[in-house]
Structure 1
Amino acid sequence: MKKNLFALSLAILSLTGCSDDEISSPEIQIQEPENGFTLDKMQWLRIQPEIKNTNNATFIWSLDGEEIAATANLNYVFAEAGTHSLELKAKNDGGENTKTFTVTVNEKTYLNKITQVFDFLPAPGQSVNKLPAATDKDTDETMRVKAETALKAGNMISLGGFGGYVTFGFDHTVINKEGNDFIVNGNALTTWAEPGTIMVSYDANGNGKADDEWYEIAGSEYNKETTLKNYEMTYYKPEVETKASLAEYIRWTDNKGQTGYISKNAFNTQAYYPLWKGESITFKGTFLKSNIAGSGNSWSNLPYEWGYSDNWANTNEKAQINIDWAVDKDGKAVKLQGIDFVKVYTSNRAEGGWLGEVSTEVSGFTDLNLVN
C-alpha cells in the first residue's frame, strides 16, 4: 500500500512540477536616460534593448499609438520637433511585456548641401585632373579633400567616363517623405545630358561612415533590355602622354569581351587618366545605353526620362529623385526611412565628336525637405 502511495505521489509531482518546461514571457531592459530620450530632428534614434526569453517572440514598436516597426531593435528618424510616447511590446507563448517611455525631438537648422566627401575617383575623361585640379603628387586622400572642398563650396567636379564616382554625405538624414526627396545638382542642358547613376545608403550601424548596404535608384532605364547589370570596365594608363589630340588615346576593356579607346580632343590637352592612380583602374556598376546621336559639329545626348543625376536641369522637376525608387542588389524594392550617404557614378561610355566623352558632373545636392 505504501509503495502504491509513493508511486502515486511521484506521478502527481511529474505532472505538476514541470517548471523547467514552462515558457516565460519576454523581459525587456532598456537603458533610458533620466528625462527620456532626447535628440534633434532628422537624426536617427537608435535603441537596442536587452530582451530575455525571446524564443518565438514578436516585437511591435508604437509611436503615439501607431505601429512603426516590428523588430527587436529600433532605428527611427523624426521629420519634425515634438514630444512623443514610444512603446515596445514583446510577446511569446508565455505572455507579453511592454516598455513605454518619452522621446523629445528638438528643432534644428541644417545646411542644405554636401558637407562631407567620403570617396572620389573619376574614370579617365576630358575634365579629369582639371575638376578638381590634380598632379602626380596627389593621393586618394588629397583628391578626396579637393573634391570635398569643391562640393562644399558648390563648385563642380567631373566623374569622367563610365564608372567614375563620388560618395558624399550631409549634416542630417534626408527623410523619405511622400513624393520626391532630393536632387543631385549637375550641369545638364536641354539636348546634352550626362547621366549619372545614383546609389543611396543609410547609417545603419551608426558609425558615421559610408560602409553600410547600398541601394540603387532604379530610374527609367533600370529594367530595359539594353541595360547591363554587374558591368565592369578597366582603363589602362597610356605608356606615353601627349598634349596633342589623339583618336586612340586611353585603352579600355570590359567584362563582355569588348575593347576600345577614349580619344583626346584639341580643347582639353591635359592628361585624362587620373594622375595619382596606377597602371589600370577597374569600375563596376550598371551600364546604361546612351542616347547620343549626331555627326560633324552637331551632337546631342538626350536625357533619360527620370531617375538620374546630371540628366535634367536642376530646376526641372524631372531632376528630382524619390527615395522610394531604391532597390537592393537583387532588384527588389526597399522602403527606406531616410538616407545619409549618396554615391553617383557615370552611367555609360559614349563620345560626341568634338564635344568629347559623356561624363557626369556633380556640383551639389538639394534636400527637398529643406526647401521652403
Structure 2
Amino acid sequence: MRNNLFLKLLIVVVFLIGACKKDSYEAPAISGMTGDTIVLNIGEKTILAPNITSVGDNSYTWMVNGKEVSSGQVNYTFVAAEPGNFEVTFKVNGKGGTNAQSFKIYVEKPIAITIDELPVVTMCDVIEITPSVTGPDRTDYEYEWAVGDSVISKKRNLSFISPEAGTYALTLRATAGKQTATSTRNITVKAAQYVRNAFTVLEYAPAPAKGHNWSIIGSAEFWKYGAEFPLTYTDFLAKATAIRKENANEALVLGSWGGSATFQFDHTVANVPGKTDLEVTATYSKLDLPAVYVAYDRNKNGKPDADEWYEIKNDDYGVEDMPEYEITFTYKKTDTDNRRIYSYFDWKDNQNKSAGGEVVHTKTFSSSMTTDGTFSTKGFFPGYNMIDIGEKKVALMDGWKSSFSRKGKRITRNLTGAAPFAQPLNIDIDMAVNSKGERVQLPGINFVKVQKVVYPMQQDGTNAEGGPIDFNMDEGRMLHVAAILDKHLKNK
C-alpha cells in the first residue's frame, strides 16, 4: 500500500517537473504589432517596438524585404530613404523555438512639379499652362496657383490671363497627404491696345411694344434727331457696331419681355479674383433687373457656342416663376388715313392657358417726321419701315421677320413705384453659374448677352377705342442697354 502511494507521488512529481521544463522552452511570443500599413514620406522615420514574452536567452534579428539590417536589438528605427512597399520582419530565436512577425510600410513617392518654359503672351490673351505633377498614387491632391500673395486658381491646369503687361512669377503649390511641393515659373505679358466697350453687336433680338422704336442706336428720346437707322438686319448690326465703337454710351432698345442683344469684345475680359470685371450701363429699375449671360470663347472659333453660355447670378436669380417662357410676336397690319397711321401686332405665350392680345400704336404723320424729313419707325413692328410716304407704303426690310419668338425665364412682378432709369450694373465673372446653378470658373469672357426677363403684372383697363390696355406691352418698361465696359482696361 505504501509502495503504491509512493509510486503515485513520484509520477506526479515527474509530471510537474516535465511540465515546468516544457514551459521554460516555449517559443517567445511577439505582440504590439499592427496590421495597418504604416505610410511614410521620404526622410521620415518610425520606431518599431514590438513586445516580447520570455526575454531570457533570446537573439533578435531585423530584416527589410528579406535582407538582414540589424541584430541584437528589440527596437528598430526605419528611415524612409526611397519610395516603395517594405516588409520589415522581426525575428526572435529562443530555447523554446523561433517566432517572427512583420510590419508593413509604404513610402510614398515625393511630389515633383515641372513647369515648362512659358512663351511671351499678349495681355488679355489666355494661355493654357499644363504642369507635370508626379507623386504618390492618391486621390486627395489639392492645387493652388498664385501670383505673389494672390491665389488665382485651385485647379491643376491654369488658364492664365492678365489685363496688364509685365512679368509675373507663377507659383504652383501641390499638396497630397502630408506632402507639399511648389514650383515657380516666370511669364512675360506684352502690352496691346483694345477697346474697353463690347462694341460689336452680334445679335439684336428686340421684343416689340406699344411705341417701341426698333431702329434706335442711342438715346431713345432722341429718335427724331438722327438716332434712327431703319436698315436691313445685317446693315443695322454693322451700323450699331460702328457707332458703339466710337461712343460706348450709344444704347440699343431691347423692348419688352424677352428682348435681348448679344455683344462681343475685341479681347478677352480677364476674370480677376476678388474684383468686379464688367460694368453694364442699362435703363432698368430696382425691381426690373435684366438678366446677364457671359460666354468664354474656349474653342477660339470667334462665336458664342450654345454650351459656352453661363448666367451671372444676381439678386433675382432663382425666383423665376416660369423658367422656360416664350412669347410669339406677329405683325398684323398697318392702316392709314389722311392724318394718322395705325400699327398692329399680336402676341401669344406658350402656356397651357395661353395669354395674348393685340397691340395697337397710333401716331400722326406730322408728329412722326424726323428733323431730316424721314418718317420715324417709332411704333412700327421691328424691321418694318415707311418706304414711300406719298403712297403710304410700309414694307419689311431684308433680314427681319414678320413673326418671331422670344424665349427665356420669366419673373412675374408688380413694378409699381419703381421707375426705370439709366444706371450701372457691376458684373463679377466669378458669379457665373451653369444650368444647374453651380459656379463655374472662367479665365475670362468674350461675349455678353443682356435680356429683359421681368414681366409686370397684368393690369386691366380700356383704351380710347374701347379695347383692352396691356401694360405688359407699354413702352415705359423698355430695357435699354448702352456701354458694356471692361473694368480692368484703362485705355479707350
Give the TM-score, by structure 1 length. 0.69
Assess, with a 3 A threshold, how the Cα gap between structure 1 residues 68 and 194 changes in structure 2: closer, same or farther. Answer: closer
Instruction: Look up the SS of the partner of 2:240 in the other structure.
Output: helix
**1:235 corresponds to which residue?**
328
The structure with more radius of gyration = 2
**Is the Cα contact below 8 Å between 1:238 and 1:249 reproduced in 2?**
yes
**Is the Cα contact below 8 Å between 1:231 and 1:255 reproduced in 2?**
no
Assess, with a 3 A threshold, how the Cα gap between structure 1 residues 112 and 259 changes in structure 2: closer, same or farther. Answer: same
**Is the Cα contact below 8 Å between 1:60 and 1:88 reproduced in 2?**
yes
Assess, with a 3 A threshold, how the Cα gap between structure 1 residues 241 and 348 changes in structure 2: closer, same or farther. Answer: farther
Code of the residue aligned with 1:101 in structure 2: it is: R
Matches within 5 A, 1:271-286: 271-272=381-382, 275=396, 276-278=399-401, 280-286=403-409
2:287 is aligned with 1:205: no
Q: Which structure 2 residue ranges, 5 or more long, are not aligned? A: 1-65, 67-84, 87-107, 218-227, 364-377, 385-395, 457-469
**Is the Cα contact below 8 Å between 1:122 and 1:160 reproduced in 2?**
yes
**2:362 corresponds to which residue?**
266
Q: Percent of aligned pairs with the same residue?
A: 24
Shift of 1:235: 1.7
Matches within 5 A, 1:6-25: none
Code of the residue aligned with 1:366 in structure 2: it is: L
Instruction: Look up the SS of the partner of 1:149 in the other structure.
Output: helix
Shift of 1:148: 1.9
CA RMSD across the alignment: 4.3
Shift of 1:259: 2.0
Alpha-carbon distance between aligned partners in 2 of 1:129 and 1:253, rounded to the nearest angstrom: 25
Assess, with a 3 A threshold, how the Cα gap between structure 1 residues 284 and 106 changes in structure 2: closer, same or farther. Answer: same
**Is the Cα contact below 8 Å between 1:194 and 1:359 reproduced in 2?**
no
**Is the Cα contact below 8 Å between 1:28 and 1:97 reproduced in 2?**
yes
Code of the residue aligned with 1:120 in structure 2: it is: Y
Alpha-carbon deviations, 1:260-287, whole Å to 9, x = none?
Answer: 1352323534234674344532222221
Shift of 1:366: 2.8
Matches within 5 A, 1:149-298: 149-154=242-247, 155-172=250-267, 173-188=269-284, 195-211=289-305, 213-224=308-319, 227-242=320-335, 244-245=341-342, 249-255=345-351, 257-261=353-357, 263-267=359-363, 268-272=378-382, 275=396, 276-278=399-401, 280-293=403-416
Assess, with a 3 A threshold, how the Cα gap between structure 1 residues 153 and 195 changes in structure 2: closer, same or farther. Answer: farther
Give the TM-score, by structure 2 length. 0.54
Shift of 1:341: 1.7
**2:487 corresponds to which residue?**
368
**Is the Cα contact below 8 Å between 1:232 and 1:282 reproduced in 2?**
no
Assess, with a 3 A threshold, how the Cα gap between structure 1 residues 256 and 143 changes in structure 2: closer, same or farther. Answer: farther
Alpha-carbon deviations, 1:200-221, whole Å to 9, x = none?
Answer: 2223334443225222223222
Alpha-carbon distance between aligned partners in 1 of 2:286 and 2:180, rounded to the nearest angstrom: 61
Alpha-carbon distance between aligned partners in 2 of 1:113 and 1:264, rounded to the nearest angstrom: 36
Assess, with a 3 A threshold, how the Cα gap between structure 1 residues 146 and 290 changes in structure 2: closer, same or farther. Answer: farther
Structure showing greater relative contact order (alpha-carbon pairs closer than 8 Å, 6 or more residues apart) = 1
Q: Which structure 1 residue ranges, 5 or more long, are not aligned? A: 1-11, 17-22, 294-300, 304-310
The alignment covers a number of residue pairs equal to 330
**Is the Cα contact below 8 Å between 1:122 and 1:128 reproduced in 2?**
yes
Shift of 1:347: 1.7
**Is the Cα contact below 8 Å between 1:128 and 1:158 reproduced in 2?**
yes
Alpha-carbon distance between aligned partners in 2 of 1:348 and 1:261, rounded to the nearest angstrom: 19
Code of the residue aligned with 2:251 in structure 1: it is: M
Which of 213, 218, 235 matches 1:127?
Answer: 213
**1:323 corresponds to which residue?**
429
Code of the residue aligned with 1:260 in structure 2: it is: G
Assess, with a 3 A threshold, how the Cα gap between structure 1 residues 329 and 76 changes in structure 2: closer, same or farther. Answer: same
**2:127 corresponds to which residue?**
45
Code of the residue aligned with 2:255 in structure 1: it is: G
Which shifted more, 61-70 or 158-167? 61-70
